[in-house]
Amino acid sequence: MLKWATVVGIAALAGTFVIGFMLEQRHVHWLPEAAVGVLMGVLVAGIAKYFHESDLLEKEKFDFEFFMIWLLPPIIFEVRMASCLCLCMMW
């Protein structure tokens, strides 16, 4: 049986991708996709809080260890690669 926290998380992620794609197609460059993800998270948390879904809010808390091991290294790697590409293009 799927847990509601997983279903809601995947739906929010899919919504972030769809909204980000739609903004890119309409050439809205002032709102990055990361901001869309943050806004989607705020929206989902607000809806869960409104409907008193404390179980959903408890399972969707920020996990520092997961962030440091799995999410932060790709972010650092992407920034480093982007800066290398910019420096290589200058020469």
What letter does residue 30 receive in the DSSP assignment? Answer: S
Q: Output the pTM of the full model.
A: 0.62
- CB contact at 8 A, 34 and 13: no
Read off the pLDDT band of 85 (50, 70, 90).
low
Cα–Cα distance, 45 to 48 (Å, whole number) = 5
For 1-91, where are the alpha helices, taking DSSP H only? 4-25, 33-50, 54-59, 64-66, 72-90
Read off the pLDDT band of 86 (50, 70, 90).
low
What letter does residue 1 receive in the DSSP assignment? Answer: -
pLDDT at res. 50? 84
Read off the pLDDT band of 23 (50, 70, 90).
very high
